[in-house]
Structure 1
């Protein structure tokens, strides 16, 4: 009996070693033998009530060479669905994912991401971004494929966040010729399509044996257990993620309605995000200046599409949804501020809008 048990244990160990070796060999083979230049990069996003911002986000990434975009929308009560018809002539697909986000699946966003690797695709690489995240080449000229090929051999390629500072700019474009930003430690990652990540979060994979590179073409060196942060740099080499963390004060307030309830509160009353901390002063912001010719070409492309008459009614309705959410948040704050002052002040730090100041002053 003991010999039998020992035999089974050894057989199990041998199988485990074999499958681990097989996985690493397949990864090595894909990386060095079958892998080719990156030409086709798919971009995937999860979206909820972000109709006002989707067109700019989509055309921005089409301009920089993403050849296919998939939007998994969920829980939308705005006019996001209208975009499917408006963008029918572009390589953009809208997928209703309500069933995933209401199924009780842990981390549904990551579930969507992982499922994308199982779908047959012509893409050489896949990248996942939120709608407030914009991939930007430092020269405002190179495509995502060109940057990938400049970096060389990799399984995954990560780019650093830079938070855009735009507290007082209402409904502005993501890029101006000069922008002020704050460097952040977070990264977002592009993956070769042959990967099958087992451990993953919205920022990166945690799988072992993956050849992970950073924007500067050097080996990625993460500083936390989640592989989601690096030592921040002020000078990206090839590209970066422009993170529109808060947008303007008005839009920030409206955005607060899109999240989880405040901790320890009745979710039927407090349907506000609890992971935001308002606005704070950045003492030494970084300035990014873009080449005039490159920026003008980018702006022409964006304006040509975003100012098309077919979007006139769409943007009017989308803005009305933002306005409605803003008023709902102000109402919630006004009715509950006194009983939850500490929590609200954390959410509203640095907000100086008159409606919020009136609420503060009357308590």
Structure 2
């Protein structure tokens, strides 16, 4: 189902900005994410939901009813393409959204964020368009990134004092007048390459990764992208069970563990009076859109998926066992115990076909879980 909107224009002097996201089973977080970016003046918000089994549609329907500049549509049609194509789902959607924004001519910039990424000014008041009005001559404007540390309580809204690690990665607002060469997750390629970092400097990347900031440019700025990939332990584990569009593994393996993020530790402090007003506005948003029951249901679904992940590792190939263990690094001892027990009873290790392969796997596993490595070596002795 597609929710259409006329997207009424916003009367102010700032630049007009559209925000686009791709979401899979993110129902507990959609309301906070949409409200957050409406609060900071994004003129249009469009969400593509794909391969989704939760109540995202119900939540988005209610939000769209009250906020006509928010829309959503399904992107499952991409799954009808060849396997090599559907693995590029996110890039296809980004390219489509950029072309449509360019053709429509209603906005000056388009930005692509995931649902766990939040564009956040530390004053908690100024709008995105008021910042970007000074960059209308640039092809793109990149914002620095902070990986927020997870906490003990599940489903917490963004904190007034964000503890985390500075990352060299960025997220980028792209001028719709730019000539797009290639969309990308963090820094799209444009023809002129007039790329800026928020703050005024020209974008300078790293030799090994053009989408990462040069070390001289990495610092806390007035606006940051807050990456909430950890949240709480149970939520982190649940996200692992969503997999990735780019591979067929049922477990997301591109994580280094819970609260495991490189970079210098920092604190991104939000101004208290404006932050309290923001929290009040969010509560009013939930009430106005009648979302309380939907969010409670969505949260229970996440906790259930956490248990499912811990108990069902049966479909992971034994060749990636060390990667499976790595994504649970930083988790509690109880979680690690459940992971090992699930692996032992899953039948995964029964696919080891010779002693040398088993011994090699044991050596890869040993730094991550010594007891499981011993268990594998004992099995190797029987081959």
TM-score, scaled to structure 2: 0.76
Distance in 2, matches of 1:124 and 1:336, equals 44
CA pair 37-116 structure 1, distance change in 2 beyond 3 A? farther
Q: 2:29 aligns with which of 53, 63, 74?
A: 53
Query: Secondary structure of 1:147's partner?
Result: helix
Q: Which residue of 2 aligns with 1:229?
A: 212
Query: Secondary structure of 1:229's partner?
Result: strand
Q: Which runs of 5+ in 1 are unaligned?
A: 1-35
Q: Which residue of 2 aligns with 1:115?
A: 96
Distance in 2, matches of 1:344 and 1:204, equals 29
Query: 1:309: Cα distance to partner?
Result: 7.2
Q: Which residue of 2 aligns with 1:278?
A: 257
Q: Does 1:310 align with 2:290?
A: yes
Q: Which residue of 2 aligns with 1:320?
A: 300
Q: Which residue of 1 aligns with 2:74?
A: 96
Alpha carbons 1:44, 1:126 under 8 Å: kept: yes
Query: Secondary structure of 1:53's partner?
Result: helix
Q: Does 1:332 align with 2:312?
A: yes
CA pair 358-84 structure 1, distance change in 2 beyond 3 A? closer
Q: Which residue of 2 aligns with 1:163?
A: 147
Query: 1:66: Cα distance to partner?
Result: 0.2
Query: 1:353: Cα distance to partner?
Result: 5.8
Matches within 5 A, 1:203-242: 203-224=186-207, 227-232=210-215, 235-242=219-226
Q: Which runs of 5+ in 2 are unaligned?
A: 1-11, 345-371, 373-383
Alpha carbons 1:126, 1:191 under 8 Å: kept: yes
Deviations 1:292-341 (A, max 9, x none): 22212211111211355711221122112212211210112489899965
Deviations 1:235-280 (A, max 9, x none): 33331110112221111111111114999xxx6xx51111111133
Q: Which residue of 2 aligns with 1:13?
A: none
List structure 1 runs of 4+ shifted beyond 6 angstroms.
Answer: 334-340
CA pair 74-121 structure 1, distance change in 2 beyond 3 A? farther
Q: Which residue of 1 aligns with 2:243?
A: 259
Query: Secondary structure of 2:125's partner?
Result: coil
Query: Secondary structure of 1:39's partner?
Result: coil
Deviations 1:24-68 (A, max 9, x none): xxxxxxxxxxxx964321100011110111110000000000011
Alpha carbons 1:113, 1:128 under 8 Å: kept: yes
Query: 1:122: Cα distance to partner?
Result: 0.8
Q: Which residue of 1 aligns with 2:62?
A: 86
Q: Which residue of 2 aligns with 1:16?
A: none
Q: Which residue of 1 aligns with 2:132?
A: 148
Distance in 2, matches of 1:206 and 1:182, equals 26
TM-score, scaled to structure 1: 0.80
Alpha carbons 2:171, 2:225 under 8 Å: kept: yes
Distance in 2, matches of 1:306 and 1:324, equals 23
CA pair 351-357 structure 1, distance change in 2 beyond 3 A? same
Distance in 2, matches of 1:283 and 1:201, equals 22
Distance in 1, matches of 2:328 and 2:58, equals 32
Distance in 1, matches of 2:118 and 2:163, equals 15
Distance in 2, matches of 1:335 and 1:256, equals 14
CA pair 73-260 structure 1, distance change in 2 beyond 3 A? closer
Query: 1:139: Cα distance to partner?
Result: 2.1
Distance in 1, matches of 2:59 and 2:27, equals 8
